[in-house]
Amino acid sequence: MKQEAKDFAVKAHYGQTRKNSDAAYSTHPIRVAERLEREGYSDELVCAGYLHDVVEDTPYEMEDIESMFDSNVARLVAAHTEDKSKSWQERKQHTIDTVKFADKEVKYLIVADKLDNLLGLEQDLQKMGDAIWKHFNAGFDKQKWYNEAIASNMYDGIADADIPGYFCEYAETVERVFGTDKG
């Protein structure tokens, strides 16, 4: 099932590239899924890692995910799919609320995704400097608010023994990119 999810994500995102790069977009969901797999998470969660942007960024719909995989994979993907008809602020607040109140699998998926995005942004900042912010729907201050809110809410409801190491990596990356001496 994991290979099918990877193949489907590569096909669905074919021709798309990462922001500020000519790298194939599919490199992102592959890294997210690989991070989840390294943590030893379920096949369903790893599949959701591969598929997490398919409904949001391609013509495929949630029904396609559910029919090709299963209802749990579809549930995980749906929990992390933004409603693009809403404003940036509304979408990001919804993700923050989801991170705060969702079950741990959904949190694992969202933080793995946000960490990969933020590590890419950090590399782009090193190459391009602050000019990078013009490529975003929201600039430095809003991105700082969003990422800091994810970091401060991701631990809610998770036992210490269930917190993966990459949560700490995310918090550290947020501090490096958006620390108090910046902005």
CA dist 77 and 72 (Å) reads 9
Q: Determine contact, residues 167/118, Cβ cutoff 8 Å.
A: no
CA dist 144 and 141 (Å) reads 5
Write down the catalytic residue from 34, 43, 57, 175.
Answer: 57
Q: Determine contact, residues 26/35, Cβ cutoff 8 Å.
A: no
CA dist 22 and 39 (Å) reads 29
Write down the catalytic residue from 34, 37, 56, 82.
Answer: 56
Q: Determine contact, residues 46/123, Cβ cutoff 8 Å.
A: no
**Which residue's entry shows tokens 């977009």?**
25
How far is Cα of residue 48 from the mean position of the Cα atoms in its chain?
11
Establish whether 57 is a catalytic residue. yes
CA dist 49 and 70 (Å) reads 14
For 134, which DSSP code? G
CA dist 73 and 63 (Å) reads 11
Establish whether 122 is a catalytic residue. no
Q: Which residues are bridge partners to 24 per DSSP?
A: 17
Catalytic machinery residues: 56-57
